[in-house]
Amino acid sequence: MLAFTLKRLGLAVLVAVAVSAFAFLLLRVSGDVAVALAGEGARSEDIENVRQIYGLDRPLVAQYLDWITRMAQGDFGQSLYFKSDVLGLIADKLPTTALLAVFSLLFALAVSFPLGIVAAVYPNSWIDRLCLTLAVVGQALPNFFFAMILMMVFAVMLPILPVSGSESWAHFVLPSIALGYYVAPAFMRLVRAGMIEVLGTDYIRTARANGLSATSIILKHALRNALVPVVALTAVQLGFLLGGSVVIETIFALDGVGHLAYQSISNLDLPVVQAIVTLLSFIYVGLTLAADLVNGWLDPRIRVS
């Protein structure tokens, strides 16, 4: 287990370094930062000035090394638009986004597990077909469109939930549904496929022959073994939910990292954008590492492959 852990950890660090370098380069190459910084109607001397003040005239590698060392020391730089410390800005808003991502995930799991299990227990029945249809339709609905339908329903027809802001837990209900429904089909398909496979194995037949109740067989014996692929998908989907929060937070005026990212991107506030992209990538790398380790612990066969 130690060798496996070290190997995965080393890979995660390499990926993190590569991602941060790429995020840095990508934003530098796609536009002239100095021009963006100097603002509209700036003279060429102004732009040159900005270039020197921010050290943008130095080689890219030097700039990157400088940026990454400072970040490692906790100095994420200054926001150009908000005129404040980037780290403080992000740290302020991260809890909101983390909460949104976790709630969305819980919603997705709460929907997909029962449906996936029922669909697997009665394969090819009408209920299985209904679940698959729901999954296909759900995945075709753009999340911002679905979010607006929710807003419309709850603002006009059924005004019991707030549709904008982030003051109380109630403000998280609609955004979590709007973000979570999109990942539910993937979980449902995985739970269904895993359960169908496990339910066909010999040890389940043995459990049945021994007279165990159907509930006990399904929930205690089958579900546990269908969980392994779900753990890996959870990490991937959490990363997706963090990224997808840009759209949903902007629509519901939820004051999180996604909304901050949108504001920073619209204002070409590159230090903030770079920091958020890098941070979310690091979180994703950390989550997949955790999932790898959990799976390596659940199933020793994974450790040697």
Partner 1 sequence: MSEVSIPLLDLAEPSRGRLLRRRILGHRGLVIGASLLALIVLVAVLAPLLAPYDPYMQDLARRLIPPIWHRNGSWAHVLGTDSLGRDYLSRVIYGARISLLIGVSVMVISGLIGSALGLAAGYFGGRVDMAVSFIVTVRLAMPLILVALAVVATIGGSLPVVILVLGLLKWDRFAVVMRATTQQVRALEYVTAAECVGASTARIILGEILPNVTPQLVVIATIEAAHAILLEAALSFLGLGVQPPLPSWGLMIAEAKSYMFFSFWLIAIPGTALAILVLAINMIGDGIRDVSAPGRRA
**Which residues contact partner 1 by CB under 8 A?**
11, 14-16, 18-19, 22-23, 26-27, 30-31, 36, 136-137, 139-145, 148-149, 151-152, 155-156, 189, 192-193, 236, 239, 242-244, 246-247, 250, 261-262, 265-266, 268, 270, 273, 276-277, 280-281, 284-285, 288
Minimum distance from residue 36 beta carbon to partner 1 (Å): 7
CB atoms within 10 A of CB 239: 19
**Residue pair 272/79 in contact by the 8 Å Cβ criterion:** yes
To partner 1, the closest distance from the beta carbon of 190 in angstroms equals 8
Smallest gap from Cβ 192 to partner 1, in A, equals 7
Nearer to partner 1, 108 or 244 (CB): 244
Which residue, 99 or 236, is less far from partner 1 as judged by CB?
236
* Smallest gap from residue 181 Cβ to partner 1 (A): 13
d(CA 249, CA 266): 15
Q: Which residue, 49, 1, 7, 59, is CA-closest to 28? A: 59
What Å distances lie between residue 147 and 42, 84, 173, 296, CA to CA?
A: 40, 32, 11, 38
Nearer to partner 1, 49 or 143 (CB): 143
- Distance, in Å, from the CA atom of 200 to the CA atom of 198, rounded to the nearest integer, reads 5
Handedness of CA 212, 217, 220, 222 (dihedral sign): positive
Give the Cα separation of 157 and 214 in Å (integer).
42
Q: How far is the CB of 140 from partner 1 (least distance, A)?
A: 4
Please list the residues that pair with 78 across neighbouring strands.
Answer: 85
> Toward partner 1, which CB reaches closer, 207 or 276?
276
Element (H, E) at 156: none
Q: How far is the CB of 82 from partner 1 (least distance, A)?
A: 17
Nearer to partner 1, 109 or 119 (CB): 119
Q: Closer CB to partner 1, residue 80 or residue 207?
A: 80
